[in-house]
Every structure is written in structure tokens, then in C-alpha cells.
Amino acid sequence: MNFFTTLVTFENLHEVRRLCHWGPVIALTVIAVCTSMAIIDSIIWYWPLDTTGGSVNFIMLINWSVLILYNYFNAMFVGPGYIPLGWKPEKVEDTKYLQFCRMCQGYKAPRSHHCRKCNRCVMKMDHHCPWINNCCGHQNHAYFTSFLLLAPLGCSHAAFIFIMTMYTQLYERISFGWSTVKIDMSAVRRFQPIMPFSVPAFAATLFALGLALGTTIAVGMLFVIQMKVILRNKTSIEAWIEEKAKDRIQYYQTGEEFIFPYDLGRRWDNFRQVFTWSGSPVGDGIQWTIHAKCHQHTLTIEQLKQKADKRVRSQIQYGVVEDYNGACCPLSKGLNTFFRTPCTEEPRIGLRRGETILATRGTKWWMYGDKVLDEEQTKAGVRLRGWFPRQCVEKCHYDTAVNSAVTNETSSENKKVN
């Protein structure tokens, strides 16, 4: 229902452009191949007009396809829900508990995060999914998870049809010898005059079987991961924040007790926060049902503490010693850098000798960080961050006095938040 409303609304027609991306193209191609081949093989293996079983098999197959596409397009076009541009909390004093988004020129509501791909702050953001070319968040979390459940079920049914079709069609045509296997594809059974099972049909069925089995395993694993966080009323990002909170408390030995504020205790209660009979999730995406021992800003306060701690423990200053043009796989930087480029849609940033980078993470051959900009660019809200080859930079040597000042500043920020 929401999907069709979205399509016919004039101001939302630009959302159709989400289809013009490699993720939806591949996903819809897999769905189309598996569905069309399953329909063809159903006609060959179990003609739906002859028996009740054949009719039930065919109706179930069509049912899987409709439900998969319905939830897929809803996840894509309904979207996660976005925080209004320039949003501020009703109480001015609450702003000290929230992070300010320079891109949206507003505060980030609890559970929201800024997505660089969508260029908006997303309500209850879980992740940006390239397969739907959209974020998974508050409004489409149920549709996305339903798609992750239905796709393996539909592909399992299709795989069963493929296997039974190949078995019934090839059983009487294969003769096994000690060293050879002879397959005669020219014979056609008497009761299947409509569509013969030829060599191209066999190859297409085998290819579709591989797609169906691969999709069942890969998407099924994603469904299990999503259900684990949903049953605790978390998102993938929040699960990572909770893990970092425990590490921070253990590192500084603060004696704090961090309670995740949105876990309601019972799995069924957590489940109903996402899946409802109306199809709309509980809440408006800004105010949330919380644990009795917490308040609306428990998680955002922890995020501010982690952000302050990150300045001390994570960001290391590097100086650029080699130019880099921002290529995804730069062959000029060596074969290891070329073949071990990060498998992510996060951007690369070009480097010029003499620039400074604040690195936050990395691999053996690549690093990720923010480029240190001049004062005018910083005031304008410009931010350049992304991946770059590790060999292009060298670690800067800090002055001890500067490090102590930064540490003291971070400690004072933590006290202010508390």
C-alpha cells in the first residue's frame, strides 16, 4: 500500500532513480532469473493444470515472487525516514546532549546518524544497503527484514523445483560407465510436448540453481544477523556503540554501568517495536520507548563520551609524503595496494605532499581518515574524509605537551557531559 502511494505521488517520483544503481540492478536480475526459470521448470516438471499438487506448487511460487518484490520495493521507496533539516529539540537545554550535524545544519535526534550516501540524518539508522540503494532505518526496517526472510524461502522453493526438474528429466537419459557419462538431451517425454528440456534449458536451470542456493545462504545469514539486533531492539550501529561503551568503561576503570536504553527486556516487546499489524513501526523516529533506568539521551551522552575519547585514542596525525589522485585501485602504488583495496563504497580522498591527515582506522595497505583543512573550510562545514594508501603518509611525532593538553581537554569534556 505504501509502495504504490509513493510511486503515484508526484513529489516522490525522483525516488525511482534509486533503481539506476548496480545494487538494485543485480538484485532484481537475480529475482527475475530465479522466478522465470522456476516458472518454466514448474511447467516442465509438475504441470499445474493436471494435479492439485502442481497447482499448489505454482501458486506458492507466484506468491513468493509477489511478496519478495512487495517488501523489496517498500524497503527501497518508503525509505528509512529522515530527520528534518535544521531540527532542534523542543527543550533548548537538551542540545548539550546531542551531536550537531554540519551537513544538515541541525541536531541529530536520538538513534539517528548521518548517511554520506543519502546526505541526510536517518532515523534509527541501521546501515546503508547497496542492494536497495537506500538506508535501512526506522520506517523500512520491517520491510527490509521481511525481504531478508522471504528471499531465502522463495529461493529454497525455486532450488527444489530446479533439482526435481533436472532429476526427472535426466534420470532415464543418463548412462554411467567407468570413464564416461553420456547424456542424450534429444529425447522428450511423451507427456511434455509443450516445452522440451533441451541442453540450453539444462544449462539455464543449473545456473539458476547456483543463484538460488547462493542467495539462500547469503541472504539467510543477513536475516539471522538482523533478527539478533531486532530482538534486542537495537541496530547494527547501536550494537557497535554498546560494545565500545564497555571497552571505554573498562579502559578508564570509571565504574559506570551502561544500560542500553531501548532494550525493553522481553524479546516479544522488542519485536513489536519493529513489526506491527499496521505495517508502521512504533514511535515517530525522534521519541522512543526506553528502559525504566534510562532516559531519552542515555545513548547520545555515551556517543559524546566516545567521540571525546576518540580524539585521544583513535585519531593519529599523519603527514602526506606521496601524491595520490584518489583512484579506487591505484596500480602505481604497488600490487598489494591495488589488489587489497577496501571493498566498500566509502570514498577515496586525493592527497598532495605536505597535507595532514587525521587517521581513525586502517588496514595493512590502506588507511581511513579526515584531511586537516584550513580555518575557512572548517567554518564552512567542509569535511574531506576517506581511504588512501598507507604508503603515501608517515606518522607525525607529537610534542608531549600538546598530547597532555588534548588529554586534559577531553577529560574536561567528559565531565561536562556527565
As annotated, the active-site residues are: 129
Sequence-distant (6+) residues with CB within 8 A of 165 are: 41, 44, 45, 197, 205
User: In the chain, how long is the greatest CA-to-CA distance?
Assistant: 90
Beta strand extents in 72-179 (DSSP E only): 100-101, 106-107, 113-115, 120-122, 127-129, 134-136, 174-176
How far apart CA 242 and CA 249 sit, in angstroms, is 11
How far apart CA 163 and CA 212 sit, in angstroms, is 11
Report the DSSP pairing between strands 134-136 and 127-129: antiparallel
CB 343: neighbour CB atoms within 10 A? Answer: 5
Under DSSP, the state recorded for 351 is B
At 18, list the grid cell.
534509486
HSE-CB for 221 with a 13 A CA cutoff = 5
Sequence-distant (6+) residues with CB within 8 A of 361 are: 314, 367, 368, 369
